[in-house]
Chains A and B, each alone.
Chain A
Amino acid sequence: MWTMKAATIASAGILAGAAGFIIRDLQLFVVGLVFLSFLAINGFFRPRIKVDRPIPYFKVFEGDLVDLNAFVHNGGARSALIEVYDSVPTQMRIAAGSNHLLVHLPPGEETAMSYTVETPLRGHYVFGPVMLRRRDYSHLFFDEESIVERGYLSVYPRMEEIHTMPIRSRYMIPYFGTIGCRQAGMGSEFYYIREYIMGDAFKRINWKASVRHRKWLVNEYEKENLCDVMLFVDASVLNGRGSPVRNPLEFSVRAAVSISTTLLKGRNEVGLVTYNDEVKAIFPSIGERQIQTITSTLVGTYARGDLTLLTAVMVALPHLHPHCTVLVFSSLEGDPTLVQAVQLMKDRGYEVIFLSPALLEIEMGLVEEPMPRRAIIGSLERDNLIAELRANGAVVMDWDVHQPLYEVLDKGGVAG
């Protein structure tokens, strides 16, 4: 490609040559010819360059640092003035070094461009291509070339600490698991104290309570079984409001990954539905592979579109196990069908739990200004909606994202 300097010289050369030819002025014609010859001679000197930029990892976690190196080799017979640039996704920061190199490279020599990127945001990313710009020494011409094809890197969200699961289903799979089912039985969580009856194991006797009440009392534990859980993640465009790192979808994804991994490690069957401009459903299943599948899907979920929960439920209904627990991650913004969707699911016998990161709180944290009166209307609308959802039998955990996830889960929602 031509630089402005080359184009100026070319224009002047053509004009001078043409004018000289028309008015039969040999000197002017020769001046034009000299300009054009200068361009032609410079055009011959183009160096031959090779670049290699390996990506050391395929997967990293949010906040990790990735060191990258691009090796530039001049394989030509002449020195080269080159500019190398590695295209880094805009969702990453250059933490150290530079992904841009301007270097004079003698023939046969090699240099390295080293830099470190920070990956603060989950997602599947494409690095590259590495762009090379070669110049001649008069800075008349340059050509750009994509030297290294793309490299791929997935950034996984960091797992959040979880102490308790907010899931309390009345309909459990009759196998020993980790989810309390509101019945006394085999489990690890204390449920209540009752009087000793013949046949109770001595290790279940609550000695302190027995002494206090002067009769034999034993601890009863909550029965813990397996449970089928379907996660619904709202990835509509409003859930992407805020900043790229702090928005309802990011918090939802982090929570969904943590909860699904914990549930799957407890041998529960977990499925996933994401809805933005399309509905993606992963059938409920168990095991390590399901953890990978769900996590990978969540990593690649981006805020766009405006599909509603009702649409997602209608699409996913055939895949839902009977009486399973539905865990919805949504900011509850911009979806007029939430109540209707809850009614439908409750009618079908599903337990519905909402974990809702509050968009208003996120925005307040970003702008760091007092809340304007107008925003209070949004807050009132949200409170009313939560009350309505609870009135329809859903459990809603209103998540002020300044709190850690485990605190919200420990507190649980208020069932209607």
Chain B
Amino acid sequence: MLSSARERLRQHRLRAAALTVVGIIAIAGLVDFLTGVQQLSAYSDDWRDVSQFRGALEKAGYPTSSIVSTPLIVDSSEGVPPDGRVLVIMGVERPYLPNELDAIVRFVSEGGCLLLSDDFGYGNPLATRFSLGFSQRRLYSDSFDRNPSFPKLNASMAGNRYTLIADRPCALERVSDQEVDAWTSVDTWMDEDGDGERDYSEQSNPYPVVAHRGYHNGMVVICSDPGLFINDMWGRADNFNFFMDYLGRYFPQARRFIFDETRHKPDHLREGGWRTGMMLEVLTLNNIWGKATLAVLALLAVFSGALLVRPPAEWRHEDTLGEISLHHLSSARFKAEDRGRLRAALLEKVRISLSLHPDEFAAIEPERLREVIADGRLEPLVDKPNSVSLDDMDWLTDLVRDWRRR
């Protein structure tokens, strides 16, 4: 008969396995939720989100959508040709996985468009794939709006000149002058050492902030300040006009803008968990190892389903008549408390031999007791039982058993 303890253990294991999987997803979601700042979301109306930019795109006739799991699925917009899709990455707050970077590069190579805007985040690994880069050092300018954190940018396109206001930008790297579409003013300096102060070595120069680069069949627009797109800045100066014209110029085939929301902090814990779950799903379905893992998990699920079922108990009569429980013979070896027991047995034997009441016996002199016992070998047991070695208990027990009053 299958023991119930074994069955319970099996149930516990299954439960533990299920809880571990759920726990991993929950913890990942929790970490995602607790770290970072909520910003640059296309679906939130806070001052540092980019919902106005998305609204402007929709007003201009571009449908928008978002990716919340992983950019691996950027190819999956049905009904829209690759060159009609624009992947918008506003701020890279969490690093991309290598296969995610590969997927984005592949997307651009096949004709897709990428609008990458980042400053001090994890955008460099992606920009590097297109031989671009972010300086990740902050720009300050004497030509600013309100304070030096908001430097003015100069942009020109198709003969039109625009003035943009940036929000704590950094500079673009590895771009040619022909690719740059917006510069800072000449009195802009880069805080190389990050101390917020201008040093002698920090020279004034115009720095590139917005640029474009063709990549195979696609187009990359890179911007070193996502603050240009946030709700608070979108209506300032020519930010809105410039970018709407700019996108129309460089993404003429665009039919859908896809916002990558995967690198932003989720609004709710539930959203974080869901995002993580979606990401795991996509990660597993988009490579052979993931598929293999999924197949193994499916097999495990099938077997778990089978194991969850209690097999019918084997019916067999087993009698308990042969069971033995011992008291005196439960242990053959002497224990520490046996010294006290043996001493008490000896003294009781002596007391009975003297026909004394226990109170009378308690009052007996030690010398008298030694006389009565009349065996020096038993004295350590009577006087200091704890000093008696357990190895000596064998012969002491025999002595006590054979003791007679002389």
Contact = CB atoms under 8 A, between A and B. Distances in A.
B393 A373 contact: yes
Nearest to B339: A377
A373 B332 CA distance: 7
A42 to B, nearest CB: 15
Contact of A91 (B320, B325, B326): B320
Contacts of A7: 305-306, 308-309
Interface string A104-133: 000000000000000011000000000101
Interface string B124-150: 000000000000000000000000000
Interface of A: 1-8, 10-12, 15, 19, 83, 85, 88, 90-94, 99-100, 120-121, 131, 133, 142, 144, 238, 240-245, 333, 359-360, 363-364, 366-367, 369, 372-381, 383-384, 387-388, 391
Contacts of B332: 372, 374-375
Contacts of A6: 309
B319 A380 contact: no
A142 B312 CA distance: 8
A19 B294 CA distance: 11
B319 A92 contact: yes
Interface stretch (B24-32, B71-79, B395-403): B395-403
B349 A380 contact: yes
Contacts of B334: 373-374
A131 B312 CA distance: 12
B321 A243 contact: yes
B338 interface: yes
B336 interface: no
Interface residues of B, number: 49
B311 A243 contact: no
6 contacts: A3-B312, A11-B304, A133-B312, A243-B322, A363-B328, A374-B397
**B311, B315, B324, B338 interface centre (most CB from chain A within 10 Å):** B315
Given A3-B309, A3-B311, A92-B319, A367 B352 contact: no
A3 B312 CA distance: 7
A19 B312 CA distance: 31
Interface of B: 298, 301-312, 315-329, 331-335, 338, 341-342, 344-346, 348-349, 352, 355, 393-394, 397-398, 400-401
Nearest to B355: A391
Query: What is the interface of chain A mostly: helix, strand, loop, or mixed?
Result: helix
Nearest to A94: B317
Nearest to A90: B320
A387 B352 contact: yes
A115 B318 CA distance: 15
A46 B184 CA distance: 84
Contact of A144 (B312, B316, B327): B312
A359 B321 contact: no
B373 to A, nearest CB: 15
Contacts of B319: 90-94
Contact of A359 (B322, B327, B342, B394): B327
Contacts of A91: 319-321
A12 B400 CA distance: 74
B329 A377 contact: no
Contacts of A363: 326-329
Given A8-B305, A133-B312, A375 B345 contact: no
**B310, B317, B338 interface centre (most CB from chain A within 10 Å):** B317
Contacts of B355: 391
Nearest to A135: B312
B317 A88 contact: yes
Contacts of A383: 349
Contacts of B305: 7-8, 10-11
B277 to A, nearest CB: 14
Contacts of B303: 8, 11
B393 to A, nearest CB: 7
CB-based closest 4 A-B pairs: A11-B305, A85-B315, A372-B332, A7-B309
A384 B306 CA distance: 63
A374 B331 contact: yes
A162 B320 CA distance: 31
B325 A1 contact: no
A380 B306 contact: no
B341 A377 contact: yes
Contacts of A244: 320-321, 323
A380 B400 contact: yes
Given A15-B301, A364-B329, A374 B317 contact: no
B325 A376 contact: no
Nearest to B316: A100
Given A1-B312, A363-B329, A11 B397 contact: no
Nearest to A339: B358
